[in-house]
Amino acid sequence: MPQMRVLLADDHPIVLMGVREIIERDPRFKVVGEAMSSSELIDKIAQLRPDVIITDYNMPGDDQYGDGTRLVEYLRRHFPEPRVLILTVISNPQVLSWLYELGISGVISKSAGLEQILVALDAFYREGHFQQAPPDGASSDDVDGLAQRLSQLTVKEFEVLRLFATGVSLGEVAQSLSRSIKTVSTLKISAMRKLNVDNDQALLILCVKANLFA
């Protein structure tokens, strides 16, 4: 069986280097390219035709394809053949379930260790698929209840919150998600209510604590 071709995408060079090093331990897999933005990823998929795409969930700063669920929706619609693994620290069960509904093959938690990438690739190589069930609840070791509060957010609320937390305006969030400013504002207010914060400063502190930027 020929080598499995893998394309990597992350906006942090050190993550790309670490993932490449892990993958290249096994001669069955070959990293055929790397991308540091959504636009670069889309271009390289068209050029390199990988078997597997391993991409970060958060790659801000790309107006054309965005990131998060917007990018994943584009990937599955226009490039249905490659298997997609998502790298993230996000644990919101609704977001993760939505990603599986879109057709991704698995989620690799950055906090759990990147060695799981080889587990997934090995499953792809030997069995053709990676069996991984989406989570159905918040982390049981969440001491202060933050993960539980985040798990209450809908996918749309979470995406608005994640983008707003990067420092962009509500207008830019609305443009990125192809929603009206009124809709985005309503989703932000609803998310803040669920998270029990009443101002933008408290919201940003919570986002940093939840590591929504990774």
Sign of the alpha-carbon dihedral angle for 180, 195, 139, 152: negative
CB 109 within 8 A of CB 139: no
| CATH no. for 146-209 | 1.10.10.10
Q: How far apart are CA 68 and CA 169, in angstroms?
A: 17
3-state secondary structure of 107: strand
Give the CATH superfamily of 4-127. Answer: Response regulator (3.40.50.2300)
Residues across the chain:
214
| Prediction pTM value | 0.70
Q: How far apart are CA 183 and CA 206, in angstroms?
A: 22
User: pLDDT tens digits, the chain, 214 residues: what are they?
Assistant: 789 999 999 998 988 998 999 898 899 999 999 999 999 999 999 999 999 999 998 887 677 888 888 899 999 999 999 999 998 877 777 788 888 888 899 888 877 777 888 888 998 888 877 766 555 444 444 435 777 788 888 888 988 888 887 777 888 888 888 889 999 999 999 989 888 888 887 787 777 676 665 5
What residue segments make up the domains of the chain, in order of their start? 4-127, 146-209
